[in-house]
Structure 1
Amino acid sequence: MHMKRLLFMPLILLLVLSACKDGNIAEQPGNTAGMLKIEDYYPITENVKYIYKGEGNEFASYRVYIDYMSNGRVQTRTNNGGTETVKVMELKNGQLTELMSRNETYFRENFTGKEYSNGKILLKEPLNDSNSWSAGEGIKSTITGLDKEVVTPHGNYRAIEVTTEGSKGTTLDYYAKDVRLVKSVSKGDGYEISSTISSIEKDMPLTQTVTLFHPDIDGVNLDTVDVQVNFKTNDEAKDVIAETIKELSVYEILSTNTKINKLYFDEKKESVHIDLSKEFVTEMNAGASFEGLVLQSIANTLGTYYGVQNVFLTVDGGPYESGHILLNEDEPLKVDYSNIKAPK
């Protein structure tokens, strides 16, 4: 009888080891802390929309879109109903850092390629209990749990808990594997605000409304039309806007062969720069008055979208020059709404 038990024990051990190998026994984060990686808790996935339900503040509910992702950096767009905030995150050298945060950014612009000198560390390896780091002057973040249960409308998660403490209060952030941030709780004297993941939608583009300006049918005033445009992750504004203008203009603001070589926002000068191919001039075939309306249409469309007053126009890297109008490289087109056709 004892011999049978001794022979049976190796068989049980073999079955247990096999089950562990096949994943039938759950692997606990606390047992593999040295193996946990930030990329597992902050996946960078394109065309995903994250929806959070808030409590304690009217702006605690928000939506997050993925604007751009490249070389370990991701640019997110957060809309809380009051403003849109663009952030650039970087996953590098075992830490997740918020490099930039810009409020009131309603336009599409890729900020991931810029240089940043400072940043706020959100997560830092090793992902072990009690690992801590500075999150700003007088602010300290600490991993206070590796297997915290978080209940959300989207499901229940086991998450890493990061506690950030400062003079204004305490914030608890919860990161779940293969999901990213699933809950945040901020609390202090007399307040507690929380945001909890409620939905994750895949293959969801960012939809924006672009007001397109164009000459009216009489070629005397400017008219407008609001157009819904969709941006997928890594879509450039110049490509989407060019396609929209070509498809919907009553008149050809951009001819079929005209290309937008460059389109970018200059934050220091609070202006927009657009460089067009030579076909914009050679294929226009317009008199001075109508040409002026075309240029004003471009200025108003881009100025309105980017929220600026100055729009610099160049052609193949040089000054804009036609038989009627010459623009020096440092001479902007000004946004002007005085010639908009009155609605009927």
Structure 2
Amino acid sequence: MFYRQIFLLSCLIVAVFIVLIGCAVKSVTEETGNDQGYIGLLQSAPTEAPDAQNHLASEAVNNNQNTSANNQSQPLLLTDFLPDREMTKVFQGGFENSGMVHVVDKVTDQKVQIKQIDFGGPIAKVYEVANEEIVLVYVLIFADLTNGADNLAGDFTSEPANRNETQLKGPIQVGTSWGGEKGEPISTITQVDVPVNTPAGFFRAIEVTIQWGGSPLIKYFGKGVGIIKASTHGYGYELVGLFYKTDDEKYLESGGIMAKYADYFDK
């Protein structure tokens, strides 16, 4: 009888123990299930975020591609390769390799006036845009004048033409050429959108090759600036300084502009 009671008590204890274990397992399972659900939400959130980010990135790439395509589809204009405002351009090289200054002091829709000053003597040049060409239409050599220094600051854009020399011709694309008549040199656009790095800065330029007898003369025209570099066998010049809003008119009047920029010629 005693052993029977002990046996029944043991069975009861085991049963209670089993029930307690079952409840504990259920509780742990439910808690684990909730944690997994929360983690699942955390894991599912970023799977949507990259999709949204990728969509935005794709739009940005498409926009960049469209912008690039639009830029490429826009034709280059002749006026893109003339100075677009008044400026002073300082070159190393030139006449006797002694340096040169271009003072662009008149800019209109159709004409640009440039005063070229070097130790060979100052020259005024007027360029005109007409009939898909940039033409040198007027030249005044101040060495031929008794009061050349006084006249150097003048405006010659309204003077009658005394030249007719095509400097650049459209369309701006590789292969466009001009000249070759009556012994004239033949000029050809040989590259478009050329990266040109000068001491004055980096430019996107077009390359023009001028063939006349011996070695060709290669010229580079930068957007908004005009000529930035030229080279041939034994001769050349390169832009080393570019200045806007200067007071160079008074130096034109006094004839001291070469002295003002002398430090640039030896760089």
Q: Is the TM-score greater than 0.5?
A: yes
Equivalent residue, structure 1, for 2:128: 90
Q: After superposition, what is the alpha-carbon deviation per residue over 1:198-229, rounded to whole angstroms, capped at 9, x for unaligned?
A: 1111112222487xxxxxxxxxxxxxxxxx59
Report 1 or 2 for greater relative contact order, CA contacts < 8 Å, sequence distance ≥ 6.
Answer: 2
Question: CA contact under 8 A between 2:98 and 2:119: conserved in structure 1?
Answer: no
* Alignment partner of 2:197 out of 142, 151, 161: 151
Q: Which runs of 4+ in 1 moved over 4 A?
A: 4-13
Q: 1:152 to 1:100 in 2, by over 3 A?
A: same
Question: CA contact under 8 A between 1:208 and 1:229: conserved in structure 2?
Answer: yes
Shift of 1:167: 2.2
Residue 77 (1) aligns with residue 123 (2): no
Residue 39 (1) aligns with residue 70 (2): no
Q: After superposition, what is the alpha-carbon deviation per residue over 1:110-154, rounded to whole angstroms, capped at 9, x for unaligned?
A: 321123275111111110001101176331100000132322111
Q: 1:168 to 1:60 in 2, by over 3 A?
A: farther
Secondary structure, aligned partner of 1:143: strand
- Cα distance in structure 1, aligned partners of 2:89 and 2:208: 20
Q: 1:19 to 1:186 in 2, by over 3 A?
A: same
* Alignment partner of 2:250 out of 189, 207, 220: 207
Q: What is the TM-score with the length of structure 2 in the denominator? A: 0.63
Equivalent residue, structure 1, for 2:212: 166
Q: Which has the higher helix share?
A: 2
Residue 131 (1) aligns with residue 176 (2): yes
Taking every aligned residue pair, what percent have the same amino acid on both sides?
A: 22
Q: Which has the higher strand share?
A: 1
Structural RMSD (CA): 3.4
- Give structure 1 stretches of 5+ with no counterpart: 211-227, 231-344
1:40 aligned partner, one-letter code: D
Question: CA contact under 8 A between 1:60 and 1:193: conserved in structure 2?
Answer: no
Q: What is the TM-score with the length of structure 1 in the denominator? A: 0.50
- Give structure 2 stretches of 5+ with no counterpart: 1-47, 257-267
Secondary structure, aligned partner of 1:206: helix
Q: After superposition, what is the alpha-carbon deviation per residue over 1:292-343, rounded to whole angstroms, capped at 9, x for unaligned?
A: xxxxxxxxxxxxxxxxxxxxxxxxxxxxxxxxxxxxxxxxxxxxxxxxxxxx
Q: How does 1:282-293 map to 2 (within 5 A)?
A: none
